[in-house]
Amino acid sequence: MKISIYDTNDAMSQAAAELVAKQLAEKPNSVICFPSGDSPTGMLGYIVQWANEGKINLSECYFVGLDEWVGMDENDQGSCKYYLKHNFFDKLNNKLNNVTLFDAKVADLDAECERMNNFISSKGGLDVMIVGIGMNGHLGLNEPGTPFDLYAHRSELDPVTVQVGQKYFTKETPLTEGITLGLKHLAEAGKAVLIASGAKKANIIHESLQGTVSTEVPASILQTLPNALVLLDKDAASELEHAS
């Protein structure tokens, strides 16, 4: 695990976008997983800007979604699909051809997990998997207690996730279950990338990166991954010991 700390959220976001740009320059048909939420917005802004300026080429790569609230799609404000559509896909001048996202409205969610697993496997695995971190240490919707050896799976949402998740919606929205790529995907990715910013994340960042490795803090798996890259702004890194 390598930790990089930046002065601002913008600098961290640009560094994350540069990591994606470098990956695409080296392997144009890379398979890349993007999250939704607050953390990736700046990064996606840079990727959109550079793609529209012709500085990076997204035409050959494959984009995979990280997770979704069960029962929601791109028409639900607050869904992961809605976020990616409005912050990424719709802002690109050229339509992306190779996008694979969870369909969280299907009757057979286990079969949907297998579909995602099979797609990723058919492409040789994820080249880059980018995740944010929840206030309870979740990555994607891998909630506290999730085994480290799972691929895509259904997830019963932790109360903290249910509470914090309300910020993505304009009205109180029942959240009970999610569907998500697994921590095994993160472990097997060419690059496992965590991005986080803000002082509110400082405590869980410290617990995840310098505390005990445990399934109760899913992000602690990063300590065990030689392929892990952690990009933080100074506020998110403020409780780390011996960080620079």
Catalytic residue among 76, 112, 127, 138: 138
Catalytic residue among 9, 112, 136, 153: 136
d(CA 190, CA 188): 7
Catalytic residue among 112, 127, 143, 207: 143
Q: Is 216 a catalytic residue?
A: no
Asked if 23 and 60 count as a contact pair (C-beta separation under 8 A), the reply is: no
Q: Is 235 a catalytic residue?
A: no
Asked if 100 and 62 count as a contact pair (C-beta separation under 8 A), the reply is: yes
Q: Is 73 a catalytic residue?
A: no
- Show the tokens assigned to 223: 């300590």
Asked if 232 and 205 count as a contact pair (C-beta separation under 8 A), the reply is: yes
Q: Which region holds residue 100: left if phi is over 0, alpha if psi is between -120 and 50, else beta?
A: beta
- No. of helices (H) and no. of strands (E), the chain: 7, 10
Q: Which of 186, 130, 218 is nearest to 209 (CA)?
A: 218
Q: Is 143 a catalytic residue?
A: yes
Q: Please state whether beta strands 67-69 and 177-180 pair in parallel, antiparallel, or not at all (unpaired).
A: antiparallel
Q: Which residues are catalytic?
A: 67, 136, 138, 143
